[in-house]
Structure 1
Amino acid sequence: MDKTTKTIDPAEVAKFEAMAAEWWDPNGKFKPLHMLNPCRLDYVTGQIAQQFGRDLKAPAPFAGLKVLDIGCGGGLLSEPVARLGADVVGADAAERNIPVARLHAEAQGLAIDYRHCAAEDIVATDERFDVVMALEIIEHVADPQGFAQTCADLLKPGGLMLCSTLNRNPKSYMMAIVGAERIMRWLPVGTHDWAKFVTPDELETMIRRTGLDFVDRKGMVFNPITWRWKLSDRDLSVNYITASVKR
């Protein structure tokens, strides 16, 4: 991997390197992502099906689609998308994540192309994708606008970019920093930097600057009574997810 890649933040990579072995432990350091995953997967699969006219009830509905999962970690999203028939490439700047992801995919009988590289490394090739997923990563990069442009450059015409992150406001600080890290201990203290959170309007502006059409955004809201996440049209106050299309 090119160590001079501009959007990579070495300190952020080091955080996730240290936690790599716990990716598939639903009660480990990635418990919040395991809890969130069904909600964001609902959004991801729904948007892909809508953009490419696929029936999610059909066998292998995403067959023929090439999907890039940037910041794939241990493969929590790569695997279910591959099960739906997509040709998935998972890329991560944290080297230790890749063998964990590969071993788990092999055990599940899934052929996923996992790579230790940055998104910019792929841009330098001629490889382009129908879908680029950048979930829970833009708040960890050194140059969010540059990262958004890289995602856009990796799309084929008519391609779909899916991006999720954390809003920046007092509520997100209390929920993601104080609640998740310091009270619930779901994540190690310091996993997130609240100053690097991105508001929905800021993210939309970044994406539009890349030339993509910003087509949708939804909140992902945690219910402490049911202990589940759900999509919301109105509440984007903490976690949210977006869809954009390349003309």
Structure 2
Amino acid sequence: MRFQVIDTQMRRIVVLMPAVKAELRKINDSSQGGAWLFDLGCGNGSVAASITKEGWEVSGVDPSSEGISAAAKTYPDLHLKEGSAYDDLVSLYGRFPVVLSLEVVEHVYAPREYARTLFDLVEPGGTAIISTPYHGYLKNLAMAVTGKMDKHFTALWDHGHIKFWSIPTLSALLSEAGFNDIRFVRVGRVPPLAQSMIAIAQKPKP
């Protein structure tokens, strides 16, 4: 069931949230002053609910009907709907100073289409914050030496990870979509063995 994937993602997101909130505070303290945020892949709404407590107005979508149903029951005041990065979200929701997409890009079959939608949703001069499991040479080597490659790259997880991103590959995806000033924060464990990475990318002003 897809909702099981969302539940697994939520456990990973607990590790991400301190760093994500720190980035959002930087944005709020800057001249951007973005009080509106779009959550692309909002899951069961727990991230959106946590962010609203810090003064953000959050809208979002997720392709899981189970996840959105759970969000509606638990957080009825949030504006979360069923939808995906393959939809024309800008026509439905407009553009936002900040677009958040946590632990989503590793699941999408068409990452360039996802990145184009992400870019379109961000206002000129705005920010996209994306997270995904981190992969790099030392981490991959450590998994190989300790016999954990099969578990990490398992083909037996229904609706599981189908893309495995590194800093160079995710940078290339975001740059190709039009983002610039891309930087990364690694979270969970020491940086070379990080659990996840967060990309913070800017949409250029006209």
TM-score, L = length of structure 1: 0.67
| Offset at residue 167 of structure 1 (A) | 2.9
Alpha-carbon distance in structure 2 between the residues aligned to 1:31 and 1:134: 13
Partner of 1:245: 202
Contact 1:37/1:76 (<8 A) preserved? no
Contact 1:221/1:235 (<8 A) preserved? no
Partner of 1:10: none
For 1:87, the aligned partner's letter is E
Partner of 1:4: none
Alpha-carbon distance in structure 1 between the residues aligned to 2:48 and 2:181: 23
| Offset at residue 37 of structure 1 (A) | 4.0
Aligned-partner SS, 2:201: strand
| Offset at residue 127 of structure 1 (A) | 1.0
Alpha-carbon distance in structure 2 between the residues aligned to 1:51 and 1:73: 28
Equivalent pairs, count: 197
Structure 1: tracts of 5 or more residues without a match: 1-14, 24-28, 55-61, 184-188, 224-233
Change over 3 Å in CA distance of 1:52–1:34 after alignment to 2: same
For 1:42, the aligned partner's letter is K
After superposing the two structures, state which structure 1 stretch, 40-49 or 69-78, moved more.
40-49
RMSD, matched Cα: 3.3
Aligned-partner SS, 2:64: coil
Contact 1:47/1:243 (<8 A) preserved? no
For 2:202, the aligned partner's letter is V
After superposing the two structures, state which structure 1 stretch, 152-161 or 209-218, moved more.
209-218
For 1:45, the aligned partner's letter is L
Sequence identity of aligned pairs in percent? 22
2:32 is the alignment partner of 1:32 = no
For 1:116, the aligned partner's letter is E
For 1:114, the aligned partner's letter is L
Partner of 2:2: 16
For 1:138, the aligned partner's letter is V
| Offset at residue 34 of structure 1 (A) | 5.3
One of 68, 75, 95 as aligned partner of 1:98: 68
2:56 is the alignment partner of 1:68 = no
Aligned-partner SS, 1:161: strand
2:143 is the alignment partner of 1:174 = yes
Q: Would you tell me which structure has more helix in proportion to its own residues?
A: 2
TM-score, L = length of structure 2: 0.79
Partner of 2:82: 116
Alpha-carbon distance in structure 2 between the residues aligned to 1:34 and 1:134: 11
| Offset at residue 74 of structure 1 (A) | 1.1
| Offset at residue 101 of structure 1 (A) | 1.1
One of 80, 94, 114 as aligned partner of 2:50: 80
| Offset at residue 151 of structure 1 (A) | 0.2
For 2:62, the aligned partner's letter is D
Partner of 1:219: 186
Contact 2:171/2:182 (<8 A) preserved? no
Per-residue CA distance 1:89-148 (angstroms, 9 max, x = gap): 121001110121122223xxxx31010011323134461111111110000001112211
2:167 is the alignment partner of 1:200 = yes
